[in-house]
Structure 1
Amino acid sequence: MYVSHLQLVDYRSYAAARLELAPGVTTFVGSNGQGKTNLLEAIGYAATLSSHRVSTDAPLVRRGAERAVVRAASFADERRSLIEIEINPGRANRARLNRSVLPRVRDVLGTLRTVLFAPEDLALVKGDPGERRKYLDELLTLRAPRFAAVRADYERVLKQRNALLKTAAQVSGRARPDLSTLDVWDGHLAETGAALVAGRLGLVAELRPLVAKAYAQLADSGGFPELRYRDSSVAEAPESTEAVGDQGDTDVTAIAQRLRDALDRARPEELRRGVSLVGPHRDDLLLSLDEFAVKGYASQGESWSYGLSLKLSAFELLRADGEDPVLILDDVFSELDAARRQRLAQHVRDAEQVLVSAAVPEDLPSDLRGERYQVSEGTVEHV
């Protein structure tokens, strides 16, 4: 798979931009703040409907404009697809695929598949659990777009349940709240949450050997990485090291029952606090190196190698499905020492399409010298 064409309208710093791309390596070189990352971010957005830099769409629209448009044409197995996304902050976004309007924006997911690694992704290793949940869920959706509906259903149920719990918490001091409706939402949360947890558990099992292999190739020292999924329904205390689900248990019915039992146990505390304390929104992907938690233990170099291993494993998993995803490396090489730069370049150079950004050409390993664009003050020129 590769992106052959990118067009932007009022996206970030670009009032208008148009690029023709080809398979192989393409690099975007320019000083910081000139717009390199905006181009790569737009391609990633066309694939995942999210940005690796911000959590909302408003910053994606050029200042003074009402909307932004991203158009990306891709080829997979000699089939051309044209994705068009209209970004409307504060209103519903719209999407078209091959000029046809889609009933839901999420229906575009799976058409273009990308794996993007950027300095912000170090948060996968050092950041909050939400970063790791996003990593799992986006990869799940790229592999099986039906999980977009699963995630949307779960988020809807969680929002409704939290609203009910908040109301119950406010009235509990004055009168006994009617909890019959909460029982119904418990069932919905267990059903939708179980499907998401099962998908995550299966994904972690597939990723585990790939991460170990990638880390061994990237790191300049020993160390064995391990991934485990922490399931908030297993123990009442999320901080407990025992709060880890059965790594082989992907039976949706069993997980749903476990969630219902956990919700029953957590109900008094949830009513007191007015928020849902159990479910996949509270789970985590535990990362360890030689049985020590990576967060707070690993060095900077080990953390970078671990983060890269997670993304390269996602690439290998998508590749195993039958076609290479587009690999995007946004300003990564400036953060790596010479040895890691070379190892990473050797690892990715045979991908069908690699898009790379760098502040200076010297940051790029010799194995990744392909087509080059110079980016300066919002203009993009082939050199």
Structure 2
Amino acid sequence: MYVSHLTLHDFRSYPSLELPLEPGVNVFVGRNGQGKTNLVEAIDYLSRLASHRVASDAPLVRAGADQAVVRAAVVRDGRTAVLEIELNPGRANRARINRSVLPRTRDLVGLVRTVVFSPEDLSLVKGDPSERRRFLDDLMVLRTPRLAGTKADYERVLKQRNTLLKQARAKGGSRRVEQEITDTLVVWDEHLARAGAEIMAARFALVDDLRPHLGAAYAAVARGADREAADLVLQPSFELGVVLPEPDPLEGAFRAGLEERRREELDRGLTLIGPHRDELALSLGVADGLRLPVKGYASHGESWSFALALKLASHELLRSDGDDPILVLDDVFAELDTERRLQLAEMVADAEQVLVTAAVPGDVPEILAGTRYAVAGGEVTRG
């Protein structure tokens, strides 16, 4: 899978751009602020319908414009499809395939697959649990696009349930009022547990599938490390006991957990358990056979290696599913020492398409020479 042509209209700093791309390595070189990352961000947005840099769509539309368009010709198994997203801040976005409008924008997700590694990815190791949940869910949806709908359903029900809990807290009062609210909560619990259990089951399966790839990637990046050194474990926000990590038993455990925490949730006006509270625990083995959390114990170099290994493992997992995803290395070489640069370059050189951004040409190892583009003042020139 690779992008053969990228078209931008009023996306970020580009009023208009037509950019042919090649399979293999494509390197965009230019000083900071010239628009290198905007190019790879556009392709990644087509993959996930989200930016790896900002939380909303508004910053993606060029100042003064009403909408932005990202269009890419994607080659897969020798056939080309044109994918397009029209960004309309404050209104519904529109997605197209080969100029035909899709009934739902999210139907575009997963038709082109990307794995992005950027300096911000250090937050996977050092940041809040929400960063790790987002990492899991992005990968989960890329593998199984229909789960984008399940995740949207869960978030909708969670928002409505939290609103009800806040209203209950504000009203306080009589047994009758509390019973009415509890009766309504039971209905929302069923919807929340059904969608939440499906998300949790997919996360458990994903972690199991990702683990061997993570071990191999960490051993390659941190030379001398054992394949068993790096590990990850999904830690649910409620007690599972002996429940199997499958939708039906998870749904029952989730509903039981909600019932058990009912009083506390009414007092606090908040849903206290569920996939939105899960943690992805990352750990490294040490000499005595103990496992220590990466956050708080790993050195800066080990943290970088772990974050890099997570993204490389994601790439290998998607590749093992049958598609070679587009790998984006956004300004990462400047953050790595010489040895890690070479290790990373060796590991990704055979990917079907690699998109690299760099401020200095010398930061990119020779093995990733590929096709070079100069980016300056909103202009992208090849050579």
Task: Flag whether TM exceeds 0.5 (same fold).
Answer: yes
Displacement of 1:89 after TM fit?
Answer: 1.2
User: 1:367 & 1:143 partners in 2: Cα distance?
Assistant: 30
User: 1:42 & 1:95 partners in 2: Cα distance?
Assistant: 14
3-state SS, counterpart of residue 297 of structure 2: coil
User: 1:32 & 1:6 partners in 2: Cα distance?
Assistant: 21
User: 2:174 & 2:296 partners in 1: Cα distance?
Assistant: 45
Displacement of 1:221 after TM fit?
Answer: 4.8
Which residue in the other structure is 2:245 paired with? 250
Which residue in the other structure is 1:171 paired with? 171
Matching of residues 31-46 of structure 1 within 5 Å: 31-46=31-46
Which residue in the other structure is 2:231 paired with? 226
Task: Say whether the 8 Å CA contact 1:329–1:355 is kept in structure 2.
Answer: yes
User: 2:66 & 2:330 partners in 1: Cα distance?
Assistant: 27
Q: Is 1:282 aligned to residue 274 of structure 2?
A: no
Task: Say whether the 8 Å CA contact 1:81–1:111 is kept in structure 2.
Answer: no
Which residue in the other structure is 1:116 paired with? 116
Task: Say whether the 8 Å CA contact 1:201–1:249 is kept in structure 2.
Answer: no
3-state SS, counterpart of residue 296 of structure 1: helix
User: 2:224 & 2:151 partners in 1: Cα distance?
Assistant: 38
User: 2:210 & 2:244 partners in 1: Cα distance?
Assistant: 16
2:186 to 174, 183, 186: 183
Which residue in the other structure is 1:142 paired with? 142
User: 1:366 & 1:300 partners in 2: Cα distance?
Assistant: 26
* Gapped regions of structure 2 (runs ≥ 5): 286-290
Q: Is 1:217 aligned to residue 220 of structure 2?
A: yes
Amino acid corresponding to residue 61 of structure 1 in structure 2: V
3-state SS, counterpart of residue 73 of structure 1: strand
Amino acid corresponding to residue 268 of structure 1 in structure 2: R
User: 2:37 & 2:147 partners in 1: Cα distance?
Assistant: 28
Q: Is 1:87 aligned to residue 90 of structure 2?
A: no
3-state SS, counterpart of residue 198 of structure 1: helix
Which residue in the other structure is 2:104 paired with? 104
Which residue in the other structure is 2:268 paired with? 273
User: 1:371 & 1:275 partners in 2: Cα distance?
Assistant: 52
Which residue in the other structure is 1:361 paired with? 361
3-state SS, counterpart of residue 52 of structure 1: coil
Q: CA RMSD for the aligned pairs?
A: 1.3
Amino acid corresponding to residue 331 of structure 1 in structure 2: D
3-state SS, counterpart of residue 261 of structure 2: helix
User: 2:22 & 2:12 partners in 1: Cα distance?
Assistant: 24
Q: Is 1:208 aligned to residue 211 of structure 2?
A: yes
User: 1:81 & 1:165 partners in 2: Cα distance?
Assistant: 46
Task: Say whether the 8 Å CA contact 1:72–1:82 is kept in structure 2.
Answer: yes
Determine what percentage of the aligned residue pairs are the same residue: 57
3-state SS, counterpart of residue 33 of structure 2: coil
Amino acid corresponding to residue 358 of structure 1 in structure 2: A
User: 2:72 & 2:272 partners in 1: Cα distance?
Assistant: 40
3-state SS, counterpart of residue 188 of structure 2: helix
User: 1:128 & 1:378 partners in 2: Cα distance?
Assistant: 35
Q: Which runs of 4+ in 1 moved over 2 A?
A: 173-177, 220-223
* Gapped regions of structure 1 (runs ≥ 5): 236-244
Which residue in the other structure is 2:199 paired with? 196
Displacement of 1:206 after TM fit?
Answer: 0.6
User: 1:222 & 1:371 partners in 2: Cα distance?
Assistant: 33
Alpha carbons of 1:172 and 1:81: their partners in 2 closer, same or farther (altered >3 Å)?
same
3-state SS, counterpart of residue 28 of structure 1: strand
User: 2:339 & 2:299 partners in 1: Cα distance?
Assistant: 16
Task: Say whether the 8 Å CA contact 2:15–2:62 is kept in structure 1.
Answer: yes
Matching of residues 205-354 of structure 1 within 5 Å: 205-222=208-225, 224-234=229-239, 249-290=244-285, 291-354=291-354
Moved more, 63-72 or 190-199: 63-72
Amino acid corresponding to residue 199 of structure 1 in structure 2: A
Displacement of 1:222 after TM fit?
Answer: 3.1
Which residue in the other structure is 1:238 paired with? none
Question: Which whole-Å deviations, capped at 9, do the CAs of 1:313-366 have from their partners, x for residues lacking one?
Answer: 111111111120011100010000000000000000000100100000010011
Task: Say whether the 8 Å CA contact 1:4–1:73 is kept in structure 2.
Answer: yes
3-state SS, counterpart of residue 95 of structure 2: strand
Question: Which whole-Å deviations, capped at 9, do the CAs of 1:50-76 have from their partners, x for residues lacking one?
Answer: 010111111111111111111011001
Task: Say whether the 8 Å CA contact 1:27–1:357 is kept in structure 2.
Answer: yes
3-state SS, counterpart of residue 295 of structure 1: helix
Displacement of 1:174 after TM fit?
Answer: 6.1
Question: Which whole-Å deviations, capped at 9, do the CAs of 1:8-42 have from their partners, x for residues lacking one?
Answer: 11111111111100101010000111100000000
3-state SS, counterpart of residue 324 of structure 1: coil
User: 2:205 & 2:98 partners in 1: Cα distance?
Assistant: 33
3-state SS, counterpart of residue 295 of structure 2: coil
Task: Say whether the 8 Å CA contact 1:25–1:369 is kept in structure 2.
Answer: yes
User: 1:135 & 1:249 partners in 2: Cα distance?
Assistant: 23
